Amino acid sequence: MNHLANITLKELKDLFTPSAVATLFVLVVVFASLGTALRGADEGYSEDEDFGVAYAGDPDGRIAAGGIEFTVRDMMVAGYIANHGGVTPEEARKHVIFTDASDEDGIFDWMEDNGMRYAVGAPDADRLRGGISKERMPFRTYYIFENGGILGSGNSSVPASIVAGASAYVSALLIKAGMGSDAPAAVRSPFYADNGDARTRVNGEAQDAEPGAIASALAKNSMVIPIIITFVIMMVGSMVISSIGSEKENKTLETLLTMPVRRTTVISGKLLAATLFGLFYGAVFMVGMKVYTNGIMDGSGDVDLASLGLSMGAGDWALLFILLFLAIFTALGICMILGAFTKNYKTAQTMTTPIAFLAFVPMIVFMITSWGALPGIARGIMFAIPFSHPMMAINNLMFGDYATVFAGIVYLTILDALLMYATVKIYKSDILVTGLSQSEGATRFGSVFAGKWRRGDEDR
């Protein structure tokens, strides 16, 4: 075997460690589970939804106007079919639901009771009789904004598309009847959805905005955090684990461990310093990213989230930074444990993969959806990933989901305590100095926590 083959095999052996292979396997399982869960969420939002129509009259009553006859139900069903390709008239009739509620609060309450995101207010029977073929008539649009990110915000074009289909249905009747008019636009398009007069209920309050604009404004204000946290965790984690590998390679770790300082103090100092640096880095990066996103997403159509009740106070920001501190501490604790498997600076670089992917997965998830929109299995996975909690904090805080925020703080605090305990046990042994071979790694690593490792047990 030539020298090239020997060197290649040696390098592959160093890279394809059991821990690296196991990490990749776990990540594949996580990605597969998340993909299935998110596909389920997307399918849920893509299903044929119920569509509300507020109409003060009998939707099955015949209306004679402009030389034609029609029912409000038939024209709205026709609009629903036009917007939902492949839906049969029978299916469409099940999804087009009517209410005689006329006041705004009544319409919104009815929508929420029936789980609808969209509704329109149709002109009354007298207006239809007198206006057909003479004037274009507006349908007012109503939306329920859900805390669901891109997937859950809803498509603002749905009401307009359904109303356009209903308008085409009536227009075809008018044209078939040979209707002539001094207002040809009213014959070609009798109705339109007035999105400029849209009303959306957000956190229980009706607002003058459509959901697409609200979702865009939320993305502008919340997408920064997942990106920042991912970069901070990857950067600080890489620094810590590489430092351990470098100290092993340069034989400085032995000197540090033989100093007359409690090893708990050594661990605490390392973790606290790196965590505070990560917070500082994150704060600076947050300001820079905020300016950047304001520049690329600036527009006159921006929605003032504060006026919608979607803002964060000083207490909310404090909770966010607590979560950020705990998440960074978690990352560093994991890195210090992974450092036990490193022999030198080179192998340390490969150990940052699980940290990077565990940060990258929730970053992608929470840039397209929210905690409230995730199905059960995806929520379980996201909650278990410690870096998810600060990433979804802004969205949850804005919508008043403090239970999830405090649950995340408790979870991360317990996890950090366990990681701290594990790191102290490792530092009390000589594993960080000698490393773990592939053959005896599991046995020796387990013996640390069983109290059986014979060297370095004293808290020096």
pLDDT in tens, 96-153: 999 998 899 999 999 999 988 889 999 999 999 888 888 899 999 999 887 666 555 5
What is the per-residue pLDDT for 113? 92
Non-local CB neighbours of 57 within 8 Å, separated by 6+ positions: 72, 100, 124, 125
3-state secondary structure of 422: helix
What is the per-residue pLDDT for 433? 54
**Cα separation, 450 vs 324, whole angstroms:** 32
For residue 146, what is the DSSP state?
A: -
**Cα separation, 199 vs 201, whole angstroms:** 7
- CA nearest neighbour of 214 among 128, 284, 279, 156: 156
| Spatial contact of 38 and 365, defined as CB atoms under 8 Å apart | yes
3-state secondary structure of 223: coil
Strands lying side by side in the sheet with 205-207 = 96-99, 51-54, 118-121, 137-144, 191-202, 205-207
Residues of the chain with pLDDT under 50: 41-46, 296-297, 299-301, 437-442, 444-445, 448, 452-460
| Spatial contact of 38 and 367, defined as CB atoms under 8 Å apart | no
**Cα separation, 161 vs 76, whole angstroms:** 11
What is the per-residue pLDDT for 97? 94
Please give the structure tokens belonging to residue 252: 């400085």
| Spatial contact of 272 and 368, defined as CB atoms under 8 Å apart | no
What is the per-residue pLDDT for 365? 83
- Count the neighbouring beta carbons within 10 Å of the beta carbon of residue 90: 8
Non-local CB neighbours of 232 within 8 Å, separated by 6+ positions: 278, 281, 282, 285, 328
- Kindly tell me the sign of the dihedral angle through the C-alpha atoms of 296, 374, 400, 319: negative
- Within 177-262, where are the H helices? 184-188, 211-222, 224-249, 252-257
- CA nearest neighbour of 141 among 217, 244, 51, 214: 51
**Cα separation, 191 vs 170, whole angstroms:** 9
What is the per-residue pLDDT for 310? 79
What is the per-residue pLDDT for 226? 83
- Count the neighbouring beta carbons within 10 Å of the beta carbon of residue 176: 10
Tell me the pTM: 0.70
> What is the amino acid identity at position 139?
F
- CA nearest neighbour of 371 among 151, 219, 215, 147: 147
Distances in whole angstroms, Cα of residue 436 to Cα of each of 17, 340, 425, 432, 444: 11, 7, 15, 8, 8
- Within 297-387, where are the H helices? 314-338, 345-350, 353-368, 376-384
